[in-house]
Amino acid sequence: MTADRPIGEDELHAFLDGALEEGRHAAVRRYLDAHPEEQARLAAYRRQGEALREALAPFADQALPAELSLKTLAERRRKALAGRHRFAAAVAILCIGGLSGWFGRAAVAPPARGIDALGREAVDNYTVYASDTLRPVELASDQRATLTRWVSERLDAPVQAPDLQGAGYGFLGGRLVTTPNGPAALFVYDGTFGDRLTVMVRPMEIDRNSPMSERSYGMLDGVTWSKNGLGFSVVAPRASTDLLPVAEDVRRQASFS
C-alpha cells in the first residue's frame, strides 16, 4: 500500500539523510532508477553535504579552551550569583531613597503624566515586583491568554506580553499594577543570571507618540517610548544587558499586535 504512493520531495531528502520511513527504500530506489536527473540531483546534494562536513570538521576537533570548560563556567556562575545578592541589597536600599523622594514630590506637585513619569513608574514597579522571589507575577507564563485578556480589558487596549526568548529572556508572567496615572500591565522576564527584566505598558494621556529614549535610574536602566497612545517602558539592572535591542524587539512586536 505505502509502496504505491508517489515519491515526494521530502522523501528524497529523508532518503539522503537516513530518515526515510521503513518500507519506502525500494520505492525510492525504483524512482531514482527511472529518473536519472533526480539521481544526479541527489548525488550532488550528497557531495555538497560531504564537502561541508569535511570543511567544518576541524572546528569540532580542536582542543577546548578553558573558557568553554563547564567546570569553569559553573564555578563562575556561583561567584556571580553571590555577587548578585549583594547587588540586590544595594538596589533595595537605593529604592527606599528613590521612593521617599518620589512621595515627597507628590505632596507638593500633581503627579506627572508624561513619558518621564512613565519611566519612573516602571522603575518603581520593577523594584517592588521584579525583585520579589516569592511571587513576582500574579499570572504565570502558562496563563498567558488569561493575562492578555485581563490587562487588555483593564487598559482598554490590546496589550500582550512580548516574546523575548530571542534576546535571552524567558517570560515569567505578569500582573496589573498601579501607577499615579491609572492601571498598567507589568510583564516580568528572567535572564541568564537570574537577572530580571520588566516591560510595563499603560495608556498615555499626553506624550502619546514619543521616540525611544534611554535613561538610568540609579542602578537600573530604562528605555521608554510611546506609540498611538500606549506607553512602554523596559527596565533592567544597569549593564546586565544591552537594553536598546530588547526594547526594539518589544516595539516591533507591539506594532504587530
Partner 1 sequence: MTDMEQLIEPVIPGLRRYANALVRDPAEADDLVQDCLERAVARWGQRRADNDTRSWLYAILHNLAVNRWRKLSRRGVMAPIDTVDPRSLSVAPAQEHGLDRADVLRALDSLPDEYRSVILLVTVEGLPYAEAARVLGVPLGTVMSRLSRGRARLAAALAEGAPVKSHLRRVK
Q: Which residues bind partner 1 (CB under 8 A)?
A: 9-10, 13-14, 17, 19, 41, 44-45, 47-62, 64-65, 67-68, 70-71, 73-74, 76-77, 165-168, 170, 192-194, 242, 245, 248
- Which one-letter amino acid corresponds to residue 77? R
In degrees and rounded to multiples of 5, residue 161 shows phi and psi of -70, 130
- Using the minimum distance from each CB to partner 1, give the nearer residue, 122 or 161: 161
- Using the minimum distance from each CB to partner 1, give the nearer residue, 192 or 228: 192
**Least Cβ distance, residue 236 to partner 1 (angstroms):** 15
- Using the minimum distance from each CB to partner 1, give the nearer residue, 53 or 135: 53
> β-pairing, 210-217 with 196-203?
unpaired
If phi > 0 it is left, if psi is from -120 to 50 it is alpha, else beta; for residue 171 that is beta
Distance CA 10, CA 20 (A): 9
Sheet strand arrangement including 139-140 = 139-140, 170-179, 182-190, 196-203, 230-237, 220-227, 210-217
**Least Cβ distance, residue 57 to partner 1 (angstroms):** 8
**Least Cβ distance, residue 39 to partner 1 (angstroms):** 14
- Using the minimum distance from each CB to partner 1, give the nearer residue, 124 or 249: 249
**Least Cβ distance, residue 16 to partner 1 (angstroms):** 9
Q: Where are the alpha helices (DSSP H) in 126-194?
A: 144-155
- Using the minimum distance from each CB to partner 1, give the nearer residue, 136 or 231: 136
| Of residues 225, 149, 226, 161, the one with CA closest to residue 197 | 161
**Least Cβ distance, residue 47 to partner 1 (angstroms):** 5
**Least Cβ distance, residue 133 to partner 1 (angstroms):** 15
- Using the minimum distance from each CB to partner 1, give the nearer residue, 125 or 241: 241
Do residues 160 and 86 make contact, with C-beta atoms less than 8 angstroms apart?
no
List 173's β-bridge partners, or say none. Answer: 140, 188
155-182 burial, b at 16+ Cβ within 10 Å, e below that, comes to bebebbbbebeebebebbbbbbbebebe
